[in-house]
Chain A
Amino acid sequence: GAVVSQHPSRVICKSGTSVKIECRSLDFQATTMFWYRQFPKQSLMLMATSNEGSKATYEQGVEKDKFLINHASLTLSTLTVTSAHPEDSSFYICSARGAGGETYEQYFGPGTRLTVT
């Protein structure tokens, strides 16, 4: 089946630094990738949708200058949390979707735990 990986699985960074999270579709081409944020005991909240080669579409309330999303290839999207602060600590999950057929549904990565100290 379709596999999506994320790297790193967990990261600790100091306040004010930036951190990049990678999302890769390993065995299919992902025309669309989604980034979610999950707080403890809360549902996944969609942050943004990115299509390969174009700018990401951010959900209301998500700061595009703080959460930079790049989807430069059909197998890789990155989320960069810039000038991170403790309130950015969360679990970030990506999903990827192909152009059609059985890859039209979203396939999820295992998530990245970000802790900002």
Chain B
Amino acid sequence: GDSVTQMEGPVTLSEEAFLTINCTYTATGYPSLFWYVQYPGEGLQLLLKATKADDKGSNKGFEATYRKETTSFHLEKGSVQVSDSAVYFCALSAGGSEKLVFGKGTKLTVNP
């Protein structure tokens, strides 16, 4: 079945460091790919998405490129801030389905 694998956390960085959170997927067909962020005490929020190969999703300085050849959708940010501390979830929806399949989440802590 469809699945998402993302790097184990937690990840701890200093402010202004470069961030990469790896995400790979297994799916039938051509899925849409998403990154969600969950700040403490809040619900998941859509951070960015890409719906076809080579698309790049971007938002708030975060980027992720849909790589069909490596079935990956890695999240990157060039310079993290303390306010980026949160749990990040990679997800997919495949085959035109409305259902989302999530990875386990990666907790990011950014220290000043």
Binding site for B on A (CB under 8 A): 4, 6, 32, 34, 41-44, 46, 49, 93, 95, 97, 105-111
**Does A41 lie within 8 Å of B46, measured CB to CB?**
no
The residue from B41, B45, B46, B102 contacting A44, defined by CB atoms under 8 A apart: B102
Known: A32-B98, A43-B4. A108 touches B44 (CB 8 A): yes
Determine the distance from Cα of A108 to Cα of B43 in the docked complex, in whole angstroms: 5
A-B contact pairs, 16 of them (CB 8 A): A4-B43, A6-B43, A43-B89, A43-B103, A43-B104, A44-B44, A44-B100, A46-B100, A49-B98, A93-B43, A93-B44, A97-B98, A106-B46, A108-B36, A110-B43, A111-B43
**Which residues from chain A contact B100 at a C-beta distance below 8 Å?**
34, 44, 46, 106
The answer to whether A41 touches B44 (Cβ under 8 A) is no
Within the assembled complex, what's the spacing in Å between the Cα atoms of A101 and B45?
Answer: 17
How would you classify the secondary structure of chain A's contact residues: helix, strand, loop or mixed?
strand
Query: How far in angstroms is the closest Cβ of chain B from A110?
Result: 4
Q: Are B104 and A110 in contact (CB under 8 A)?
A: no
A6 to B44 CA separation, bound complex (whole angstroms): 13
Considering only CB atoms, which chain B residue lies closest to A45 in the complex? B102
In whole angstroms, how far apart are the Cα atoms of A97 and B46 in the complex? 13
Cβ contact within 8 Å between A110 and B42: yes
Cα distance A90–B59 in the bound complex, in angstroms: 31
Cα separation A34 to B104 with both chains bound (whole Å): 18
CB-CB < 8 A to A6: which residues of B? 43
- Does B99 reach chain A (CB closer than 8 Å)? yes
Q: Is the CB of A105 within 8 A of B46?
A: yes
8 extra A-B contacts, CB within 8 A, seeds A95-B43, A110-B42:
A4-B43, A43-B102, A43-B103, A44-B44, A97-B98, A107-B43, A110-B41, A110-B43
Contact with A along B24-66 (1 / 0, CB 8 A): 0000000000001000011111100000000000000000000
Contact call A108/B45, Cβ cutoff below 8 A: yes
Residues of A within 8 A of B99 (CB): 34, 46, 49
Closest 3 CB pairs of A and B: A108-B43, A108-B44, A43-B102
